[in-house]
Structure 1
Amino acid sequence: MRRTKGTGSIVRRPNGRFKATITVSGGKRVSKTFDTREECQKFFMDIKGKDIKYFSPVTVAEYFEHFIELKSGVYRESTLNGLKQFYRKHVENSKVAHIKFSDLTPQDINRFFLGLSSRGYATTTLDRWRKNFKAILETAVLEGYLENNPMESRQAIRRLKGRQERQKKVFSLEEVQKLLSIENLSTLPVVYQVYIVLSFITGARPQEILALTREDIKEDKVSFNKSLGFQGKLQETMKTSTSIREVPIETKWGLWLLDKITEEKTAGIFRSEKSTYGYLSHDNVNVRFKKYVEAVLGSSKGHHLYDTRHTYATLLITVFHVDVKTVSVLMGHSNIETTLKYYTHSLPTCHMTLPV
């Protein structure tokens, strides 16, 4: 039923709870979530006519829920789902979740993150979560929920130390030659042959490769314009605007790929009826890839799918002497600093060419 203007609005949320919103003196919009409509009505009666310094959500958990709702349709689906995962797994049932939002201190946040750092998470993961938390509180300041961001305080922890992230292991050119040998590739099912070749000759992210269709692959180039997101669900948006790109490939490889894809007789190269969203699982490909590397190179060196992306950038820069700006564009990076800082590794000089 439509409510009279000025008496507040009640909206039922996907989780079954009711969000009550009303404008109070000073033009502030007050909102809070309840289990029943009756509680919403009581909230309107209690808050109407009051001049309040802070407006609801009251607790940290309530603000996180508000923020997630606020960013629905704004953030990429995978980004939003990652935020939801962090909230549900680490924030929702924590002590910090029940602290009154306006009373949140740097010490509260420090204790929360120190607790996470003791659980064996990688330093980079902790840093990402901390930056996200800080950005959320910054939004709260802009919305008027807080006067200042407690994570900007001198008492706030600046750096969290966790488990060291797995070091990226770049393949040498000789190893790439072996892995791309047609004789060795033929020991794999066609779909894995295609994935491995694409990963080495384009340097694309695994989720970009798995989203490819036949139309994206030409004799001389591969077009990347979509990717798989959270739990392997196809999303039309890319990680960044620069991720939409065309990567040139040797014609011989292009013809080989088109020939192999034709054998599969499917528009979606990496489609799978067994998965939730219809695409080959990233984890399954990773298991196959590691077994293949071990079989071809003779020993397990702890390689992962993303190592092909690092190998691509490193070989182009250190072996084939392609300028960094060009490599950055081919990788889909927003700036060359990312390419240099994270994707360029030392490698013995070698003047051999890739097999075709």
Structure 2
Amino acid sequence: MIEQKQLSEVIELWKTNKKQYVKKSSFAAYMLLIENHLLPVFGNNFVLEESDVQKFVFKKLEAGLSHKTIKDILIVLKMIMKFGAKNKWLEYTPFDIQFPTEREKHSIEVLSRADQKKIMNYIQEHFTFRNLGVYICLSAGIRIGEICALTWEDIDTDSGVINVRQTIQRIYLIEDGKRRTELILDTPKTKNSIREIPISKDLLRILKPFKKIVNPSFFVLTNDAKPTEPRTYRSYYKNLMKELKMPELKFHGLRHSFATRCIESNCDYKTVSVLLGHSNISTTLNLYVHPNMEQKKKAIEQMFKGLR
């Protein structure tokens, strides 16, 4: 008979197994959730009841964690439990965990058309490679890690396309109980994130002269062999927005602004989804497709027109 193991022992064995199959950044994210949330609460358990996990969820909600973070923790816990059950080290019956209904609607922050124009005009008149990154994000909707990892080689001015192939991120590593961080250059978030984005005419006009003279292997934001990392670029962006007296907007708001402008221009949702590199169209629809009052009125009018 196989001996039952504590969850902490199963976690150690699961870690060794999982490390072979996932990206370094994903593994680092799992480790952080395990160390900060799962081990302190469940590490000594041989058995895990659904009621224990439900209690854990309520405690984490009280502590201010978002639904998404808690769901991410539960995904990791489920992987560990399934692995333990497969090897007969512990018993696992799938949990049916309930979350209280979220009352607040999370609205996304976007730039108004006027503010977006103001920023883009300013960058055209005050060119720096760092400013160019903001212009590219507003014109192509790429993520902060993707713009930090973009090289001149990824920009094809002949075919008018930006190739998004890699991302930069700083990950937390926990090894032998010690924590450290590491900057890694890796493939993007999902396979859909590897994508081609057409370059707008205005952006092409800015990029073409540089393409003839730059080193193709250099990073666009630094025009150097060494990249800038997301947190450094985020603080640069914050200062730029302050200087331009813009409303406070997270860097990711540039991506939201790009998507919103696409939707406003009646671009079809599937195309917007592909441009953003979303894994599926429902992500795009949930985030960006919220009919305004004008569109709602139009729908009601059309419906009754058909009934007359």
Q: TM-score, normalised by structure 2?
A: 0.79
Change in 2 beyond 3 A, CA 1:166/1:293: farther
Alignment partners' CA distance in 2, 1:272 and 1:87: 39
Change in 2 beyond 3 A, CA 1:264/1:149: farther
* Equivalent of residue 340 in structure 1, options 277, 285, 288: 285
Does the alignment pair 1:86 with 2:86? no
The SS at the match of 1:121 is coil
Q: Structure 1 stretches of 5 or more lacking a match?
A: 1-50, 350-356
RMSD: 3.1
For residue 175 of structure 1, what is the amino acid of its counterpart?
Answer: D
Does the alignment pair 1:61 with 2:17? no
2:269 matched residue in structure 1: 324
| Contact map agreement 2:143 2:255 (CA 8 A) in 1 | yes
1:99 matched residue in structure 2: 45
* Equivalent of residue 193 in structure 1, options 131, 145, 148: 131
1:303 matched residue in structure 2: 249
1:240 matched residue in structure 2: 190
Query: Please, which moves more after superposition, 196-205 or 107-116?
Result: 107-116
* Equivalent of residue 231 in structure 2, options 283, 287, 291: 283
Choose 1 or 2 for highest CA Rg. Answer: 1
Alignment partners' CA distance in 2, 1:169 and 1:345: 13
Q: Structure 2 stretches of 5 or more lacking a match?
A: 172-181, 295-308
Change in 2 beyond 3 A, CA 1:347/1:282: farther
Alignment partners' CA distance in 1, 2:136 and 2:290: 21
Paired residues for 1:120-139 under 5 Å = 120-139=64-83
| Contact map agreement 2:7 2:45 (CA 8 A) in 1 | yes
Deviations 1:221-270 (A, max 9, x none): 10011112343733442211111111001244124135457787671234
For residue 287 of structure 2, what is the amino acid of its counterpart?
Answer: Y
2:297 matched residue in structure 1: none
Q: Which has the higher helix share?
A: 2
Does the alignment pair 1:214 with 2:130? no
Query: Please, which moves more after superposition, 309-318 or 254-263?
Result: 254-263
| Contact map agreement 1:122 1:164 (CA 8 A) in 2 | no
Alignment partners' CA distance in 2, 1:348 and 1:307: 23
2:261 matched residue in structure 1: 315
Alignment partners' CA distance in 1, 2:11 and 2:223: 35
Change in 2 beyond 3 A, CA 1:347/1:246: farther
Per-residue deviation, 1:202: 0.8
Change in 2 beyond 3 A, CA 1:71/1:255: farther
| Contact map agreement 1:207 1:282 (CA 8 A) in 2 | yes
Change in 2 beyond 3 A, CA 1:268/1:184: closer
The SS at the match of 1:233 is strand
Alignment partners' CA distance in 2, 1:129 and 1:249: 39
Identity percentage of aligned residues: 23
Change in 2 beyond 3 A, CA 1:326/1:166: closer
Higher relative contact order (CA 8 A, sep 6+): 2
Change in 2 beyond 3 A, CA 1:131/1:194: same
